Amino acid sequence: MSTLPASAARVQDALDQAGITVTVQTFPSSTRTAADAAAAIGCSVGQIAKSLVFKTRRDGRAVLVIASGPNRVDEAGLSARLAEPLAGDSLGRADADFVREKTGFAIGGIPPVGHAAPLLTVIDADLGAHGDIWAAAGTPNAVFRLSFDQLRQITRGLVMPVA
């Protein structure tokens, strides 16, 4: 029987089903922000894979962007790089209700896997500079460690600059 909170257990199940041998870990302190997570884990902020959900302006599709901790997503630049998959649509920030509806998770714990429905996923190329990266695991104090290649495998994400 798992001692993980239900949301984190759902992430662990998704990782197991994907054939990725990693373990969700919980911390007594918050890992809600990239800085909080890096401090709790003892890694650099650049190793934190923060999951951000955007919404296409015209048709309201969800796009998951997994960015390196210190990077701010350039919405206009990313929209241009995603012109073909988005059929010319552009991206805007999603609100908390939209994020929960599309992912099944609350902001501050959005994992790269285990979502309510499949999402177009973009992975920040800057994450590839790190041997180990850490991603949220469904709650504001749960994370898991994986490699960049494992992240690409489990998300089937498009790798590109996002900042």
- In tens, the pLDDT along 44-66 reads 999 999 999 999 999 999 999 99
Separation between Cα atoms, residue 70 and residue 119, nearest integer Å: 23
Instruction: Say if residues 134 and 40 touch (Cβ distance below 8 Å).
Output: no
Separation between Cα atoms, residue 74 and residue 152, nearest integer Å: 21
CATH number of 6-160: 3.90.960.10
Residue 7 parent element (H or E): helix 6-17
The alpha carbon torsion through 26, 29, 31, 34 (nearest 10 deg) reads -140
pLDDT digits (tens, 9 = 90+) for 96-142: 999 999 999 999 999 999 999 999 999 999 999 999 999 999 999 99
Domain positions in the chain: 6-160
The pTM of the full predicted model, rounded to 2 decimals, is 0.95
